[in-house]
Structure 1
């Protein structure tokens, strides 16, 4: 048991160290205010929404304030906003329509085709938005997000300089009011760091559609969401892998503090579990061996790690060797997360890493088992994993 436990911990630590190394290799990109090329590319910001009456106006206000520099707003000729309403049951559409009538920002509101069957509602909304858009690049975010004043300028300059087929950006939580929400910030930071590092290694694993950009030509070339329309979520992750197969040198991570998008952590345990079931359930749908292998490896690690802790706890004696392994695990995670949280401007949340250590393995195993079958609720709709 001691040998197996040691092997599990060492493999896991090497994996975290590898992620940390490649995270540090990603260059930080800063926008240059008042600088756009003579013929800048055009971007279409697409926002699929469903029941976002509480948040959508705040996001549109953020977009209205996008800046070229301290004195000037970002020229409207470079971009447009398309909001696609996915059969909202609240005042979302009315709020967007009213805001659009009172601003100089180019905002188009279109309804999603709810008659389309056997399709992911969110993918359908984004796909329709793309059909109505004019941009060279599509930038997606969500209706409950907030963006900084130089978010779009940063994206435009990055896209102009690197011309990626697809690029992912940073996402974090904000306005965390409870210890439970602060724990979510820590976990989510690890996912963002892993996502960025895996893209840097040219073995991408995942990304987040709340801050994602891709070229119109790349989207067309891979057939859009062809092959995974039946999966309710994954508009970001499956597109990432489809684009990478066609453009192995064309996938990037935008590591820029100015371009980090903020959203909200889940307020209740029930909503949190539903979200994690949705995320975890996608691994079975993947064609990429590295995604399936990593998912299984991490799951096996947590099973072994939790079993080892229980075994040694029941054994009464606490060996220095076990304490050393635990310190090693915490140390490599601490170093990695400290770097990611500093980038996300969430370094103060690092103190919550220690209590998370005691809960995470049990939580990870539980979510993995729950996600292996059954369905989940998303945006007031029930979905099944085999949909």
Structure 2
């Protein structure tokens, strides 16, 4: 293949990709920052149920419950049951998760309940089944979901309550980030994850939602019931958040929002090993082919082809020992556009110091994205000590 043709293809894909990132950045900046009023909580505030599906989370669940116990509602730490409740749904844990939750229940004023998920239900995602049972056990107007390995700040709940009261969304997504990173590998994951959160928020603002994260998600009971809950995708192991987002958006397009406030950001843990990281990304990528949403399919295809082209071009140019100055300029443009977008998102997540890791990530990300995209198209993955097949 002629080098000039390769250069032109490379240039086209880089420019299209840069325009896409600029568009994400534009809509990210358009999202209004929600202003928290720490001493305000009115009688019109909707009641919420915080539902936490757990499986083998003995290492983390007590820390999350302690965070919830320390929530500030108004001017003091209080636990008014008319405002909220916590429902932990145990998904057949094989460790001490349930016992730890029960022990915590005896020592707290928190309105907390522990129920067991019915693992006998076949052809249903275990996590979706757990969340669904939690919803059936609640009476609240709004549901907020998070995960057993997450941490929340003292104003997390108050921010959500005020946001739900003022906006009355059918569904709203919040920010999620990694914390306590101990290695360079974990810090790289923080950068990548920030790009996903930024893309999620921006696409919601553009009214073309792509994805969201169930570790920090709120939706109304009415909207959940009107879209039939998870009935259209019970069989897909993952996607309790993403498929629900699209189902709700189709019926309530003006009522899907992103909560942009640092106090509402949820923190979780990056994967410590490459093996666990690959299993997680296979789980995430495996649901892409299940989508019926044209914008999700087109975006996934565009980004995959871009990274395939980008990687192939770098290998080709390296082999020919030929990289024109204008192509170097395109590379600098790509890095600059990503840098600007990620700097804004990471500042919101209070992770701006990690931005320096974007440079080494440039050399690794395209290869990683292509490999994960190919691997996720078939086979199986292990999650929460269960094996799932991609065709499930």
Question: Which residue does 1:42 correspond to in 2?
Answer: 47
Is 1:149 aligned with 2:154?
Answer: yes
Question: Which residue does 1:322 correspond to in 2?
Answer: 327
Name which of 53, 56, 61 aligns with 1:56.
61
- How many aligned residue pairs are there? 387
Alignment of 1:212-291 (within 5 A): 212-291=217-296
Cα displacement (A) at 1:74: 5.1
Question: Which residue does 1:95 correspond to in 2?
Answer: 100
Tell whether the 8 Å contact from 2:124 to 2:237 is kept in structure 1 after alignment: yes
CA distance in 1, matches of 2:171, 2:323: 49
CA distance in 2, matches of 1:4, 1:324: 15
Question: Which residue does 1:110 correspond to in 2?
Answer: 115
CA distance in 2, matches of 1:15, 1:385: 29
Cα displacement (A) at 1:37: 1.8
Q: 1:74 to 1:345 in 2, by over 3 A?
A: farther
3-state DSSP of counterpart to 2:363 = helix
Is 1:133 aligned with 2:138?
Answer: yes
Cα displacement (A) at 1:30: 2.5
For residues 187-228 of structure 1, what are the alpha-carbon distances to aligned partners after superposition, in whole Å with 9 as ceiling and x for unaligned?
A: 000000000000000000000000000000000000000110
3-state DSSP of counterpart to 1:77 = coil
Question: Which residue does 1:181 correspond to in 2?
Answer: 186
For residues 66-118 of structure 1, what are the alpha-carbon distances to aligned partners after superposition, in whole Å with 9 as ceiling and x for unaligned?
A: 10245443533200000000000000000000101110001100000011011
Question: Which residue does 2:81 correspond to in 1?
Answer: 76
CA distance in 1, matches of 2:269, 2:244: 24
CA distance in 1, matches of 2:178, 2:208: 26
Indicate the RMSD between aligned Cα atoms, in angstroms: 0.8
For residues 302-323 of structure 1, what are the alpha-carbon distances to aligned partners after superposition, in whole Å with 9 as ceiling and x for unaligned?
A: 0111111111111113311111
Name which of 295, 304, 308 aligns with 2:309.
304
3-state DSSP of counterpart to 1:80 = strand
CA distance in 2, matches of 1:370, 1:125: 28
CA distance in 2, matches of 1:317, 1:6: 15
CA distance in 2, matches of 1:325, 1:198: 25
Give the TM-score, by structure 1 length.
0.99
Stretches of structure 1 that go unaligned for 5 or more consecutive residues are none
CA distance in 2, matches of 1:375, 1:160: 42
Question: Which residue does 1:13 correspond to in 2?
Answer: 18
Tell whether the 8 Å contact from 1:30 to 1:258 is kept in structure 2 after alignment: no
Tell whether the 8 Å contact from 1:138 to 1:215 is kept in structure 2 after alignment: yes
Question: Which residue does 2:365 correspond to in 1?
Answer: 360
Stretches of structure 2 that go unaligned for 5 or more consecutive residues are 1-5
Question: Which residue does 2:3 correspond to in 1?
Answer: none
Tell whether the 8 Å contact from 1:74 to 1:153 is kept in structure 2 after alignment: no
3-state DSSP of counterpart to 2:287 = helix
Cα displacement (A) at 1:386: 1.2
CA distance in 1, matches of 2:223, 2:76: 35
Cα displacement (A) at 1:134: 1.4
